[in-house]
Amino acid sequence: MLPDGAEDRLMGNAQRLANACKAAGVQQWDLVGFQAYGQQVDIEAGKVTMAAGGGEGGFGVRVVENGRFGFAHMVDVSGADDAVAQALKIANMSPQIDGFVLPSEQHADPVAGLYDANVLDVQPETLLAQADAVIASVASEDERAVVTGGGLGVSATASVLMSSEGVLASGVTTNHGLGVQVTIDVDGHLTSAYQGQSSRTLMDDVPSCVGRAVHWAQVTQHTVSSDDGAVEAPVLFTSEGMSPLFSMVVPPAMTGEKLVRGESFWSDRQGKQVLADHLSLTDNGRLEGGMSSGSRDGEGVPRRVQTLVQDGVLKGAFWSTRDAAQQIAEGRTTDAASTGSATAGGHQSPPGTGCTELMLTSSAPTEDWDALVGRLDSGFIVNSVMGAHTANPTSGDFSVTTSSILRVIDGEVVGALKQAGLSGNLAQAMTGQVVLGQTVRQQGSYSSGRMHLPDVLIAEGLRINPA
């Protein structure tokens, strides 16, 4: 899948772009380059509908002149001179950030588990066989169930990071991912559930997410009516149900820029309690096998493990070099420096600021699924939400809908609601009674990085409005 010499060619092209920066007399510059190759299989209506493969990539270059920066990107380095000229032109028109200089080279130890040669050996027929295995597994678990959407694929990405300040890093990462939408149709009553899973290493032919998708399509088949109207009630979120809201609201609240600009619900809360006193948040940029971890951030600063919230108290923030310099220059803080939190999602935009592998943990005992459900004298279980992107990361307020919601009475699931609204303030709700489940699953993110979340029971501050 990965052509011979792909990493060497990427490095050679990066050097060509670096030479263009030097020839133009750029004071400081950094560049990133990516080249990805992959194969995928799509599934629709219980059948494989398409198999495809290919590659994509490009380069991005950032120039810094007297605290002013500009950025340009390209697919082919034959346009390196033009791209550097464009970046310089943008820099000349940009506002100056006093004190903004690119970071110098610092030693960064490698992170293990980001590459699996077995992924590179996957052939198209292997993916087709895995797709058949997934379809057959769903049918064997429930003869009514059909994989109505989704697919699976493998990829390998060669990358390079280089700067005028001596930063030089390159490598190859691999990925194996799968997602399935399972639907059950009983006399015209359709229920469906989506679950996904990804790994840097080769996964089993039928990962555990497939069984979870079948389960949620099954348990939402039996619907019950609710005449209670809108009620405040405890809600048990599965990891998948919690992740969209959590990732939309919590990581942005911990970026240093938003904190000092007063744009976070945790602004002016450093050293104060912001979560229930048994909860902690840790960002592990060096997690072995992490989908967003690595030895360096998007500016070349070594990644680290940092505690953002400890025992409910806000202890830290995410900073990139650029954001730290800008907020100091604008007088909003005197104490800011890179925390290795610059994120480079690709070659088409300059580095931003965000999390890598954000983990929610508890010093209190965690509980298994049955114990969590048993805590719900009268409440709800939510497995997915729609509209999480509309949540307000400045206030923590949200209002979403869900069609994957179960009603619980006296600690027993009595059925599913066809649809319901869910609203509240996530920041405030997580200062109250919160209980975490025992099993942590990795989830994607609406913001940056990955969320490592268990099932989460929030007992106060949420409102359910059955449709």
Predicted confidence at residue 80, as pLDDT, reads: 97
Q: What is the structure's pLDDT at 228?
A: 74
* DSSP H or E stretch at residue 194: strand 189-199
Q: Identify the pLDDT of residue 3.
A: 84
User: What does the pLDDT read at residue 310?
Assistant: 98
Question: 119 or 5: which carries more pLDDT confidence?
Answer: 119
* pLDDT tens digits along 300-331: 999 999 999 999 999 999 999 999 999 999 99
Exposed/middle/buried for residue 299 (C-beta within 10 Å: 0-12, 13-18, 19+): buried
Distance CA 454, CA 243 (A): 9
Give the residue among 336, 353, 335 at the shortest CA–CA distance from 345: 353
What are the pLDDT digits (tens) for 265-312? 999 999 999 999 999 999 999 999 999 999 999 999 999 999 999 999
Can you tell me the distance from the alpha carbon of 17 to that of 32, in angstroms, rounded to the nearest whole number? 10
Instruction: Using the predicted structure, report yes or no on whether residue 227 has a pLDDT greater than 80.
Output: no
Distance CA 298, CA 254 (A): 18
- Both tokens of 456, joined, read 């989460």
The amino acid at 26: V
Counting every residue written for the chain, the total comes to 467
Angle of helix 124-141 relative to helix 208-219, nearest 10 degrees, comes to 30
Strands 313-314 and 342-343: unpaired
Statement: residue 42 has pLDDT above 80: yes
**58 three-state secondary structure:** strand
CA atoms of 400 and 229, how far apart (whole Å): 16
Whether domain 6-219 has CATH 3.30.2290.10: the reply is yes
Q: List CB contacts of 128: < 8 A, sequence separation 6 or more.
A: 41, 48, 51
The average confidence (pLDDT) of the chain is 95
Instruction: Give the pLDDT band of residue 2 (cuts 50, 70, 90).
Output: confident
pTM: 0.94
pLDDT of residue 89: 98
Own/partner long-range contacts of 188-197 (Cβ < 8 Å, ≥24 apart): 189/221, 189/223, 191/217, 191/218, 191/220, 191/221, 191/416, 192/148, 192/217, 193/217, 193/220, 193/383, 193/384, 193/404, 194/149, 194/150, 194/384, 195/240, 196/150, 196/444
Report the percentage of the chain scoring pLDDT > 70: 100
Helix, strand, coil percent values for the chain (each to nearest 5): 25, 40, 35
Sign (positive/negative) of CA torsion 70, 74, 80, 83?
Answer: negative
- Residue 161 near residue 203 (C-beta atoms within 8 A): no
448, pLDDT greater than 90: no
Reported as a single tens digit per residue, the pLDDT across 384-414 is: 999 999 999 899 999 999 999 999 999 999 9
**Residues forming CATH 3.30.2290.10 domain(s) in the chain:** 6-219
